[in-house]
Amino acid sequence: MNSPFDDFYGGLFGSRWHPLKAALLRPAVKVTFPLFNHFSQYVLDPASVSVARQLLESLPKIGAEEKVLDMCAAPGGKAMVILDALVNSGWKGEFIANELSYARRKRLEEVVRTHVPDASRSQIRVKGWDASQIGIRAKETYSRVILDAPCSSERHLLEQDPTMQEWKISRTKQLAQRQYALICSAVLALKPGGVLLYSTCSLSDFENDGVVERLLDRKGDQIQLDPTFQPGFEKTKFGFYILPDRVEGQGPLYFCRLLKSN
């Protein structure tokens, strides 16, 4: 008899679920990513590098003094990838790395101290704001926003309990509600013409395309999908997947890039 977890994800992925679950149960792939002209190195999933780069790639160059926001930045890998690319491009603006959790924020602060050289450290500020309120307190402030939202993180759940007998669908539905509040805040925080990168490490459609679809249905006059096709990624209705059964153990990661109306 299948667990509720297997029933739910089997319904989403069909016959693919068994090989996908097997890939999730194997150790995650990691790479050592050099930062700031080899000042430091950060170990992370290569899928995280690919997704973080989407905030800047195939887009007009960000203005030299523009502000960038990472709404849920801990532990800091994506923030480091983005900041590295910005600094290397000659950007001189301000990067806000936000994390509400005190424990996770302390870890993020240590990442900044360890991996960012003194010459660039003044450009990054670690904050502990409630991300759902950022759009209200800093309306139309940032030209780029990444929301790597708290999510189901099924790979980590399976590491803790491979049977997942106690899992309930209410978990992913509740997370989707929180994610929608966060993405609405991100839209408010974006400048007109700004770019929002929404990502999760979830497999649940409630938390991925479902959040984006709800946003577009309710705020389509403010935000639209970026029509740029991203080769090398697995297309979903609104975004893209990187899944470990097809990309050499990477992920899982979902991302969608959105553009705020001028």
Q: Is 201 a catalytic residue?
A: yes
CB 96, CB 61: distance < 8 Å: no
Contact residues for 256 (Cβ-Cβ < 8 A; gap 6+): 197, 198, 199, 208, 209, 212, 225, 238, 239, 240
Please identify which residue in the block is written with the tokens 């309306």.
139
Rg (CA), the chain: 18
Beta bridge partners of 111: none
CB 202, CB 154: distance < 8 Å: yes
Among candidate residues 151, 184, 201, 256, the one labeled active-site is 201
Report the run of H or E that residue 242 belongs to, with start and end.
strand 240-242
Please identify which residue in the block is written with the tokens 């700031």.
36
Report the alpha-carbon distance of residue 169 to residue 231 in Å, rounded: 32
User: Which residue intervals of the chain are DSSP H helices?
Assistant: 4-13, 17-25, 46-53, 77-88, 102-115, 118-121, 134-137, 154-160, 169-189, 209-219
Active site residues: 201
